[in-house]
Structure 1
Amino acid sequence: MTELCPRFEGAMEIISKRWVGLILFELLDGAKRFSEMESDLPISGRLLSDRLKMLEKEGIVERNIYSEFPVRIEYSLSKKGKALKPVIQEIQNWANEWMPFENTEKTNAR
């Protein structure tokens, strides 16, 4: 029996947390403000904030603060986060091929 690689297990723990995949997908197009992500994703502001903090701590997301009035804060993928792009795109390709359409309607209704 093949032993599970601790690095793979650690990566899956991060990526498989609820909403993380959608947050990463949202940031693939570039930096976003919190309010933009909150309106685009079917997730509460508190949970979005928690996930962004976790991703920032892991070095996957960067929080950029701009000294303007009012202060502007944007979130973007770090180099480490951008390296996930092909993984996320492949998951999307797999979903397009194999996930029944009715499942996507249930997800979007949340």
Structure 2
Amino acid sequence: MADRECPLSRTLDAVGEWWTLLLLHDCFDGFTRFDQFEANLGISSGMLTKRLKTLVDNGILERRQYSERPPRFEYVLTDTGRSLRPVIVALAAWGNAQLPRRERSMILVDARTGREVEPVVVDRRTGKPLDDPDAYVFAAGPAASEAFRTRYDALAAKRKAAR
């Protein structure tokens, strides 16, 4: 069981499974139907059903009926689901950064120019990249338990002593 207080644990419960990330990637490419996912991913129907249910249950996808006879459904990204796009982009960019350029099978490009782009994660307010572990650290949030507060207070004290 994941630590339900940690946002990383909760996120991984919802989207951390390998097939789930590939399924979300297909959603961002415009796939919406079970047969499209199944054919593109080569995933078993049982596993696909399970993954889609998890994404619907977590509010990432919405299941919509598009045919009454026979009953057929499509899976459409919700606002919450669409907000995962930068995460998927960042994961793909990280993966590509580990490969020589000639071995990259998929790259992110500007849709208008076709030029490859290099995504970075930045602070919305300042525009500064968040890759500096000395400049940006985790801290206890308003809903943190006493254990989380103790953990992050100790880390802050350790950083302060190291200065």
CA distance in 1 between partners of 2:30 and 2:14 (Å): 21
- 1:7 corresponds to which letter in structure 2? P
- Whichever structure has more helix as a proportion of its residues is 1
Q: Which residue of 2 aligns with 1:9?
A: 9
Report the counterpart of residue 39 of structure 2 in structure 1. 39
* Structure 2 CA distance for aligned equivalents of residues 99 and 43 of structure 1: 26
Matched residue SS, 1:32? coil
Contact 2:31/2:37, CA 8 A, preserved across alignment: no
More strand by share: 1
Q: Report Cα offsets for 1:30-74 as digits up to 9, x if no partner.
A: 351101110000311100000100110000111110244333311
Residue 10 (structure 1) shift: 0.6
Q: Is contact 1:61-1:77 (8 Å) kept?
A: yes
In structure 2, what residue type is equivalent to 1:63? Answer: R
Structure with the greater relative contact order (CA < 8 A, sep ≥ 6): 1 or 2?
A: 1
User: TM-score, normalized by length of structure 2?
Assistant: 0.54
- SS where residue 74 of structure 2 aligns? strand
State, as a whole percentage, how many aligned pairs show the same letter: 37
Whether the 8 Å CA contact 1:31–1:77 is kept in 2: the answer is no
Q: What is the match of residue 76 of structure 1? A: 76
TM-score, scaled to structure 1:
0.78
What is residue 62 of structure 1 aligned with on the other side?
A: 62
1:99 and 1:45 map into 2 onto residues whose CA distance is 32
Q: CA RMSD in A?
A: 2.2
Closer/same/farther in 2, CA of residues 90 and 75 from structure 1, 3 Å limit: same
Unaligned ranges ≥5, structure 1: 105-110
